[in-house]
Amino acid sequence: MRRSILMLALALPLAGPLAGNGLDDLRAALQKLPGGDPVRVTMEHSFWRQTTDDKKPTVTQGKVSALVDDGPQGLKVTWARPLLQQASRELAAQEKEPERTAPTRTALRNVDPLEAAEFLNHAEALLRDLAQAQVVEERAETWQGRPAKLLVLKLTPRIPESQRKYLKELKVDAKVWVGADGLPLAFSSQVAFKGSRMFISFEGGNAQDLQFARVGNRLLVTRTTSEDRSSGFGASSQTKKTTTLTVL
């Protein structure tokens, strides 16, 4: 799902010491959530994508839902039979009329099982994101009416030289709201980049918001929204995604 230079940068491990007592406390709390307890959720995923080149903009959108189980036997994603039948009908129609869209099929292919697994057990992923964080500000603040500690962070992702040489600017900021129990309530990140290749400029960015809940020894993502944008080389794209998980 993350194909731009920006997404590559964020997907790579971050390295370096944590800074700030609030961040140290958060890391210690996350390390106490190894995951593994069985969990079952319903997952609803929707997306909207617009791509533009020399022609008129093309919009694709879709929405799917699934039953997801995770436990000692591994991850299991169950798609309802009517949903799969709808995807098959869309494909058949598209073969007759290539210009037709297949929103259900596209949405199904847009769901990444590895990402779904991280949503169900997000402590380790969040620790990676915070590995090279620097605290810009720390203050008391409420989150959706609940008392919390807000950590304003600056992140510096490690990027391969093969990608970095094309970048002129890269800025990654984040915020995390920590509840009274020391666990995160929400996480928000914003990324912006600019660069050039072969004398052609490009730019883009990403914004992501996650909300959490503790379920057994798991840090569960209950809702996540993201927006990716990029432009350059005569084309532009914008993608918005929302995923909601409800514990059964």
69-89 pLDDT tens trace: 999 889 999 999 999 999 999
Cβ(161)–Cβ(135) below 8 Å: no
20-44, pLDDT tens digit by residue?
A: 479 999 999 999 999 989 999 999 9
Average pLDDT rounded to a whole number, residues 45-68: 87
Q: For residues 198 and 114, which has the higher predicted lDDT (pLDDT)? A: 114
pLDDT at 1 over 60: no
CA distances from 202 to 8, 26, 191 (A): 15, 36, 14
Nearest to 152 by CA among 142, 172, 138, 132: 138
pLDDT level of residue 6 (50, 70, 90 thresholds): very low
pLDDT level of residue 55 (50, 70, 90 thresholds): confident
99-145, pLDDT tens digit by residue?
A: 888 889 888 888 888 999 999 999 999 999 898 889 999 999 999 99
Structure tokens at 74: 């591994």
> What pLDDT shows up at residue 95?
87
Nearest to 31 by CA among 221, 217, 223: 217
Nearest to 92 by CA among 82, 84, 102: 102
- CB-neighbour burial class of residue 129 (10 A; exposed 0-12, middle 13-18, buried 19+): buried
> What pLDDT shows up at residue 140?
95
Q: How far apart are the first and last CA of the chain?
A: 27
3-state helix, strand, coil in the chain (%, to 5): 25, 50, 25
pLDDT at 15 over 60: no
Strand order in the sheet with 133-143: 74-78, 58-71, 39-52, 235-247, 218-232, 200-215, 184-197, 167-178, 146-155, 133-143
**Maximum Cα interatomic distance, the chain, rounded to a whole number of Å:** 61
